[in-house]
């Protein structure tokens, strides 16, 4: 599971969308239902989501140093330009075709993360995948949007 997560991060950072085989959940959806709540070295975000299957979930937040939205963070490989980039592949989730609301933690535990999330807005990505190798990984569900960041 950790290897799959690392491959997903490397593909996103490198801007290699071809790392995913074709295929998505036509009924899959996600909505960010809270602000990012920062407390020390970790932050949480509530997401309402629905997916029929999936083996890994990745949640990522990128922000400028000032916390002001910047379109450049919406692009592939933009983590290099971010003042802060926190994420996680370690959250529990359930994909069974039914709607769920989960609280997902993001932090700097995994390699390559940087900076401090500050009050403002962050570009958030929520992805559910399945598969075990770069060639067989299928992106099941993907949601990206600007989300407010607040201190808890």
Q: CB 36: neighbour CB atoms within 10 A?
A: 26
Residue that is written with structure tokens 């999330």 in the block = 117
The CATH number of domain 2-151, selected from 3.30.300, 2.60.40, 1.20.950, 3.30.70 = 2.60.40
What pTM did the predictor assign?
0.83
Q: What's the pLDDT tens digit per position in 50-77? A: 999 999 999 999 999 999 999 999 998 8
Q: How many whole angstroms separate alpha carbon 30 and alpha carbon 100?
A: 9
Instruction: List the chain domain ranges.
Output: 2-151
Residue pair 108/90 in contact by the 8 Å Cβ criterion = no
Q: What's the pLDDT tens digit per position in 92-136? A: 999 999 999 999 999 999 999 999 999 999 999 999 999 877 778
Q: CB 64: neighbour CB atoms within 10 A?
A: 20
């Amino acid at each position: 599971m950790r290897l799959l997560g690392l491959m997903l991060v490397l593909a996103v950072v490198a801007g290699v969308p071809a790392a995913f085989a074709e295929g998505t959940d036509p009924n899959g959806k996600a909505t960010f239902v809270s602000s990012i709540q920062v407390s020390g070295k970790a932050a949480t975000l509530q997401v309402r989501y629905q997916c029929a299957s999936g083996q890994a979930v990745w949640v990522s937040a990128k922000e400028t140093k000032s916390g002001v939205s910047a379109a450049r963070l919406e692009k592939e490989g933009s983590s290099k330009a971010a003042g802060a980039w926190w994420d996680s592949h370690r959250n529990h989730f359930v994909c069974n075709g039914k709607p769920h609301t989960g609280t997902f933690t993001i932090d700097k535990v995994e390699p390559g993360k940087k900076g401090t999330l500050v009050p403002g807005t962050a570009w958030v990505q929520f992805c559910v995948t399945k598969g075990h190798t770069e060639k067989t990984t299928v992106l099941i569900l993907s949601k990206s949007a600007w989300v407010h960041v607040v201190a808890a």
